[in-house]
A = this chain, B = another copy of it.
Amino acid sequence: MKKLYVIKIGGNIIDNEAKLAAFIKDFAAVEGLKILVHGGGKLATKLAADLGIEQQMIDGRRITDAATLKIVTMVYAGAINKNVVAQLQANGCNAIGLTGADGNAIKAHKRVSPPTPKGEPGIDYGFVGDVDTVNTGLLQSLLEQNIAVVLAPITHDGNGLLLNTNADTIAQEAAKALSSIYDVELIYSFEKSGVLLDAEDDASVIPSINPTAYSELKETKVIFAGMIPKLDNAFAAINSGVSKVIIGKAEQLQQLIRGEAGTTINP
């Protein structure tokens, strides 16, 4: 099986022009087949503020109303995605930017929250998508033409609705689906150096974690709470056929790939 890298970059890189340029250069230099999944960053929030559109929050979670959906579609699929693609081209990396609607790449459904324990209706998050299917045939046809695929965190429901979708989830679902065709390594790059023993100490990276070690770390509460959803996602990916998940700093992409930095999640 050929190797495929699925690499997710977070909003903090998107928001920083110099860091983004350096990351794009590093990504362009990654050999072999690759997919980049980008988050949204603060550009959408800024545009909404500039337009006087208020962000609706319920229980601390952002709601994607119709006005916000328009904004994230413009910012994620337009501004960010096309600039990343153009920068990759400038770095000698042929790339194509897609939302889930393009070529039916990623189909999702509008999230339906379960009722509360009291039987009240669950939170309506608005135009937020939970992924159903990844079109591996389309992605494969592009990857095999040596085109890097750049996925924006927007999906569609097949009935004409675009849906705001978590970029971590898109990366995980793409990695899982493509692991039937490729030897997939999934890389979550973010602002920290990896999974840390001490959230305040960026040098306390745990180099590798397997399921047994993870249970122990959770039991002894050594891992801070914020990491747990990311790690649960990582193990879900591993359990669905992904060969390896690496969590670490975007600035260290080359080292993450070589296993010289970050935290590697093994089966």
Report B-chain residues with C-beta under 8 Å of the C-beta of A74.
Answer: 74-75, 78-79
How far is A253 from B187 in the complex, measured between Cα atoms in Å?
Answer: 46
Report B-chain residues with C-beta under 8 Å of the C-beta of A154.
Answer: 82
How far is A51 from B102 in the complex, measured between Cα atoms in Å?
Answer: 29
Report B-chain residues with C-beta under 8 Å of the C-beta of A104.
Answer: 89, 94
Report B-chain residues with C-beta under 8 Å of the C-beta of A78.
Answer: 73-79, 81
How far is A154 from B81 in the complex, measured between Cα atoms in Å?
Answer: 13
* CB of A113 closer than 8 Å to a CB of B: no
How many chain copies does the complex carry?
A: 2
* CB of A122 closer than 8 Å to a CB of B: no
Are the CB atoms of B82 and A158 closer together than 8 Å? Answer: no
Are the CB atoms of A96 and B85 closer together than 8 Å? Answer: no
Interface residues of A (CB under 8 A from B): 50-51, 70, 73-79, 81-83, 85-87, 89-90, 94-99, 101-104, 138, 141-142, 145, 147, 154, 156, 158-162
